[in-house]
């Protein structure tokens, strides 16, 4: 498909983030089951609920555009999910696995922040005020989750280091 207009590019990017959110929702369920740190589990559980809302917001955007929701395979999301699965498979302890999960979440959140910022800028440029508000809501949630994950990283590192020392 050749993209010739800003609107077509917007729809394309929307379809990719729609796919990405679906992939990330499935992956978060797996991460929640693999996590052991209560703080990390709480972050993931909260973000699962937010991701479900974000998918709903994207579907509402499609309705406002009088279009059916469409998923275009998002290679970036697929790669991030695959990397998190590989990290979980090789982590040797629950504490190290939590650190891997935290890193995976951080990568995903920053990816989503970048995508939502681009979509928000395009929606505002096209004068799509209601759509921009929905995208802004998704962006704010992603930024908040990224901040929570980053704040928990030192604790996750410390626990992984302690587990390594005890296992050595």
As a whole number of angstroms, the distance between CA 108 and CA 25 comes to 11
Least reliable range by pLDDT among 61-65, 81-85, 104-108, 158-162: 158-162
**Overall average pLDDT of the 40-65 stretch:** 97
Residue the block writes with tokens 């929606």: 123
Element (H, E) at 67: none
**What is the pLDDT, as a whole number, of residue 167?**
63
Identify the three-state secondary structure at position 35.
coil
C-beta of residue 46 within 8 angstroms of C-beta of residue 147: no
Residue 11: how many CB atoms within 10 A of its CB? 18
CATH 1.20.1260.10 assigned to 6-167: yes
Q: In sequence order, what E strands does the chain have? A: none
Mean pLDDT of the chain: 95
Domains of the chain by residue range: 6-167
Record the tokens describing residue 141, joined without a space.
């949630």
As a whole number of angstroms, the distance between CA 124 and CA 141 comes to 19
Residue the block writes with tokens 């979980």: 88
Tens of pLDDT along 135-144? 999 999 999 9
Ramachandran angles phi, psi of 110, nearest 5°:
-70, -35
Query: Residue 74, by phi and psi: left (phi above 0), alpha (psi -120 to 50) or beta?
Result: beta
């Amino acid at each position: 498909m050749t993209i010739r207009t800003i609107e077509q590019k917007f729809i394309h990017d929307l379809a990719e983030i729609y796919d990405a959110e679906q992939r990330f929702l499935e992956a978060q369920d797996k991460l929640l089951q693999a996590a052991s740190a209560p703080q990390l589990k709480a972050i993931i559980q909260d973000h699962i609920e937010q991701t479900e809302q974000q998918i709903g917001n994207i579907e509402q955007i499609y309705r406002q555009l009088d279009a059916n929701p469409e998923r275009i395979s998002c290679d970036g999301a697929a790669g991030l999910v695959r990397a998190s699965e590989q990290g979980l498979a090789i982590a040797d302890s629950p504490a190290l696995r939590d650190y891997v999960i935290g890193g995976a979440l951080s990568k995903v959140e920053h990816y989503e922040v970048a995508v939502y910022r681009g979509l928000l800028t395009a929606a505002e440029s096209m004068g799509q005020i209601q759509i921009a508000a929905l995208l802004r809501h998704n962006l704010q949630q992603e930024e908040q989750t990224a901040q929570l994950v980053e704040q928990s990283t030192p604790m996750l590192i410390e626990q992984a280091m302690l587990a390594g020392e005890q296992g050595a």
